[in-house]
Structures are given as structure tokens and as C-alpha cells.
Amino acid sequence: MYSGSGKTLLASRFGTILPPLSSDESLSTTRIYSAVGRLDDGQSLVLQRPFRSPHHTISEAGLVGGGSTPAPGEISLAHNGVLFLDELPEFNRRTLEVMRQPLEENCVTISRAIGSATFPARLMLVAAMNPCPCGYRGDPKRNCNCNPIQVERYVSKISGPLIDRIDIHIEVPPVPFRELTNAKEGTDSATMRARVLEARERQAHRFQEDRDQLNGKMAPRQIRTFCKLDTEAENLLKTAMETMGLSARAHDKILRVSRTIADLDGSDQISAIHLSEAINYRTLDRAGWA
Ligand SMILES: [Zn+2]
């Protein structure tokens, strides 16, 4: 996202379009806040999806958890909510790398000589980065003075394997502040949430054996069962794999995301249109991006 695109505002609104916290989710998130003494005075339950946005100077223990007596980090404080990492390339690269496994497993285990502790960390990761160190690359109204080497170095601070684990990449153009605060057009959160709830209902129906399962977490076996493509979509995916040089992980992500796009469209069949939208969300996989 570009600077001035209102990214923090956008990220903080994510929770409002997700389904409200279920009582199980509320309890498991409350348990973490209670363990670290983070509940407000008089608060007995966490009732809203958490929104955490730690600064890029955060330590590894602060982000994923740690300490001599293992304590949960930001990824667990964001459990059942949103973790927003602004200016992603500015985070310590090693710190980001240790986050990879918890992102896959929805929990983090901290091992110490005295024993180990496992904390839940099922979260939506929202990360933002500028297109270049100064932030104005591609901005029609401002001049960017970064040279190609500086841009390349900036973008390459984020590892491919981490980018691979992020489902959706989008470029957000700068928006004048007035348009953000005065938005008359577009869809409001309540309408979006209603659509999300409908799509979740389709998912719950699909994964009858486990109603908490989500498209984004489908195992390869489920992808083969539930993401069948017609010939047109099949060919489109094949071409994208070849021209964009996508990894197997990106291939599966595209299928999971296109399943959700089809669900939001109320469609059982994933069409070429759904699939191409999902392919468009892999901006950072494209060699031409930097
Ligand atoms: Zn620049």
C-alpha cells in the first residue's frame, strides 16, 4: 500500500466485516488477555475481535512470545482478531521468519528448559509496505527519488517464503483524506459483514464435519475436492503458473482464495472470472513488481 492510502484505518476496520466473536472465540481470547493481565478494570470477557498493531522495532519475544517464563506475544494477543504490521520491510527479518510457522499452525510453542508452553495464534495478518523507501513510487502527484537498486533492496527485505504465506496482495493507490472521511459511495461495513456471513455459511455447509473450517485453511486433499475448475479456468491457471513462475504454495493459495471469491458470488462452481481475480491478488509474486 502507498503512504497516504489510509492503510491503518483500513486495517483497523477488518474486524468489523468479520463475523462477531463466537462465545468459544471470546473465551479463548479472554484466557490470553487474562494470563498477561491485559483485561481492563471490570472487564470479564474480550467481546471484540482484537486489533494489534505493534511497531516495527518490536522484539522477537514481543511478537511471537517468549521470555524466561514463556509469555504470549502479539500474535497471540491478536488471536481471533487482526494483527497489523505496518511498514513490513522495517521489521527485523529474523523476527518475521519466526512468525512463519505459527501462521501455518495457528499456534506457537515456546520451549524452555523448565518446559514448554503453547499459545493459540489464529489470526488474520494484515501487512502494509510502501512501494519504495520514500513511499512515493507510482504516486501521480509526488516525485520519488529512489533509484532502482534502493527499491530492489527495500522490497527484497521481505523474504519470498513470507510473501508466499500471505493470501492476498493488493496495491492501494493514495486517496485524498477527504474521500476517506466522506465516503458516500462504496459498501459499508454492515453490508460487507452480511456478505461475509453468507459466504461463511456456504463454507460451514461444505465442511460439515468441521464447521469452524475455513476455505483459507483447506488441506491439499480438500482443495482437490472442493476447488474443481472448468476447462477455461484450468487453462488460465496453467498459463499464470508458467508466466508468473508461481510456487506450489501460491498455486494452492490461488485456489483457496478463488473458492472464497466464488462463495461471495454465491456460486458453487469456480469460474475463470473468480480464478483471475484470485490470480490478480498475487501482485508480489510477479517479477515486474519491483
Ligand atoms: Zn521512492
Instruction: Determine the distance from the C-alpha atom of residue 139 to the mean position of all C-alpha atoms in its chain, rounded to a whole number.
Output: 25
> Would you say residue 129 has pLDDT above 70?
yes
> How much is the pLDDT for 289?
40
Distance CA 13, CA 41 (A): 25
> How much is the pLDDT for 173?
75
**H or E element, residue 126:** strand 124-127
User: Residues 213-234: pLDDT tens digits?
Assistant: 899 989 999 999 999 999 999 9
Q: What is the CATH topology of the domain spanning 7-178?
A: Rossmann fold (3.40.50)
**Structural domain spans, the chain:** 7-178, 189-289
Distance CA 210, CA 121 (A): 19
According to DSSP, the β-strands at 82-85 and 124-127 are parallel
Distance CA 147, CA 19 (A): 44
User: Residues 162-191: pLDDT tens digits?
Assistant: 888 889 988 887 766 556 555 556 778 899
Contacts of 44 (CB under 8 A, 6+ apart): 30
C-alpha cell belonging to residue 155: 522490497
Closest of 271, 283, 206, 272 to residue 246, by C-alpha: 283
pTM: 0.88
CA–centroid distance, 286 to ligand 1, in Å, is 19
Q: Is 266 left (phi over 0), alpha (psi -120 to 50) or beta?
A: left
CA–centroid distance, 155 to ligand 1, in Å, is 12
CA–centroid distance, 116 to ligand 1, in Å, is 45
Question: What single DSSP character describes residue 83?
Answer: E
Asked whether the beta carbons of 82 and 49 are under 8 A apart, the reply is yes
**H or E element, residue 44:** none
CA–centroid distance, 130 to ligand 1, in Å, is 9
CA–centroid distance, 289 to ligand 1, in Å, is 14
Distance CA 40, CA 113 (A): 33
CA–centroid distance, 13 to ligand 1, in Å, is 28
CA–centroid distance, 142 to ligand 1, in Å, is 9
